[in-house]
Amino acid sequence: MQRRLLTALPAISLAAVLAACGGSSSGGGTTPTPGSSSGGGASGSLTVGAAGFTESNLLAQMYADLLEKAGFTVNIKTVSSQEIFQSSLEKGTIAVVPEYAATYANSLETEVTGNQSPTAASPDLQTTLTNLEKYATQKGLTHLDPANAVDQNAFAVTTAYATQHHLTTLSDLGASGLSVKLAAPAECATRPFCKPGLQTTYKIKISSILPLAFDSLPAKQAVKSGKVQMALVATTDATLSSLGLVLLTDDKHLQNADNLIPIVNKADLAKHPEIATAINPLASVLTTADLGTLDNQVDGQRQTVADVATAYLTSKGLL
């Protein structure tokens, strides 16, 4: 299952993330970013971590490009083990990694306190960041600016269905009294951000769940064909409009604030404050829609991560 649906769980298996998020690279190799830049005044060597799935690889490449522009020599290391990934970050052998604010906050709380039902994550980004920083500090870590881009659970219906029933939000669907069949992983039945949350927060009537993989083509086709009325997808899915689907807005903020966020080793940041100066400008530029488009350029159009990342940063005036 996809990472987003698993945010209700206390521990996250990186192997599950890799299997669900698509993407290509895995393993523990360290590779230099293509090309080098000497345009900035910073110096030294840094390693950027990537978790091996498309979105993580893209963000890691963008961080690396920005750091190279600042003057650093940068390697990207793809790590296939969550434990090694975290340990390397804490030791400083990896300086910065792309993460998801809510998911990472809960993961850190569990690691630091042993609490198997973490509450660090919240739909409110600032609350999530405050809790994340509290636990990150105990691990010698901190965070840079969170991106506007957020990668969350979302729920899609056909554009025709939304128009027919005047639906733009999940609240609209609840108020309509319509009963819907939902395409989602079987675990949706018990996950608080899925069926229980839809019923409690939005009063949506779910008659049944068709067990299909998260944000999968079969799930989306089931909605398109009318076999079900709604599917569990991702906010970053760039294929929805081409299938005649549209997201219903999570207007009561059922989902936690899983904004993309750089996690940094504190000692590395103290030694090289230019890390923040280089990477932070991406935060206000990168949107959820952008992230979906970038993911699709790699997974759907088979462009390389390096080409997509560099083209995006250049288009935004960051390179």
- For 34-72, the pLDDT digits (tens) are 444 445 677 899 999 999 999 999 999 999 999 999 999
Strand 260-265 and strand 141-143: pairing?
Answer: antiparallel
Integer CA distances (angstroms), 300 to 152, 238, 285, 297, in order? 20, 10, 23, 6
- For 183-229, the pLDDT digits (tens) are 999 999 999 999 999 999 999 999 999 999 999 999 999 999 999 99
Per-residue confidence (pLDDT) for residue 205, from 0 to 100: 98
Are the beta carbons of 202 and 254 closer than 8 angstroms? yes
Are the beta carbons of 145 and 269 closer than 8 angstroms? no
Confidence of residue 11 (pLDDT cuts 50, 70, 90): very low
Confidence of residue 24 (pLDDT cuts 50, 70, 90): very low
3-state SS, residue 203: coil
Q: What is the pTM of this model?
A: 0.85
Per-residue confidence (pLDDT) for residue 32, from 0 to 100: 54
- CA 289/CA 303 separation, integer angstroms: 18
Residue 13 predicted with pLDDT over 80: no
Mean confidence (pLDDT) of the chain: 89
Tokens at residue 88, please?
Answer: 């390397």
Residue written as token pair 């280089």: 278
Give me the domains of the chain, ranges plus CATH numbers.
5-150+257-315 (3.40.190.10), 153-248 (3.40.190.120)
